[in-house]
Homo-oligomer: A and B are copies of this chain.
Amino acid sequence: MESNVATTPEVLAQRLANSGLRATPQREIIYGVLLKKRDHPTADEVYARVRTDMPGISLATVYNCLETLVQCDLVRAVNFERGPTRYCPNLRPHAHFHDEQSGSTHDIDLPAEILDKVRSVLPPGYNAKSVEITFRGKAADEQKSSQP
């Protein structure tokens, strides 16, 4: 029973329409790139991947589309320190584990129970719209390089 999880171009179009926006080829390809390899790419990395399918796309458009997807709640923008923003199409509540050695980022699912516990540290009067949890450290077996 996955509510709220868009994984197809059709769903993308629907979500965009909800916000009065159009499903353009650029938006579809960029969203597809994010779904295909969920390694939290930067805008530059998305740009590089998209260009193999759509060589004429501009970096400005990549930024525009990513921003649009974030606005539609189809994608989360993720930041570590002051590094470039990374993009994540995982809509379930999750934390991020940032491996400092490899630079890779892993999603860590967050049970609602834990999220509630965390929210419980807030004194009365503090109304949190969002909670962000980030781990930094070393993850074991980085699976060699990345060729499957």
CB-based contact A128/B135 at 8 Å:
yes
Q: A132-B133, A135-B130 are in contact. Are A122 and B97 (CB under 8 A)?
A: yes
Cα distance A81–B67 when bound, in Å? 13
- We find that the number of chain A residues with CB closer than 8 angstroms to chain B is 38
Q: Which residue of B lies closest to A136 (CB)?
A: B130
Cβ of A1 under 8 Å from chain B = no
Q: Which of B81, B110, B127 contacts A137 (CB under 8 A)?
A: B127
Cα distance A111–B121 when bound, in Å? 8
Q: Which residue of B lies closest to A123 (CB)?
A: B108
CB-based contact A140/B127 at 8 Å:
yes
Q: Which of B85, B109, B117 contacts A117 (CB under 8 A)?
A: B117
Which A90-118 residues sit within 8 Å CB-CB of chain B? Answer: 95, 97, 100, 106, 108-111, 114, 117-118
A78 to chain B, nearest CB (A): 10
Q: Could you give, for residues 70-88 of chain A, a 1 whenever the CB lies within 8 Å of some chain B CB and a 0 otherwise?
A: 0000000101011001000
CB-based contact B114/A126 at 8 Å:
no
Cβ of A129 under 8 Å from chain B = yes
Cβ of A138 under 8 Å from chain B = yes
Cα distance A133–B138 when bound, in Å? 18
CB-based contact A136/B126 at 8 Å:
no
Cβ of A25 under 8 Å from chain B = no
Residues of B within 8 A of A85 (CB): 81-82
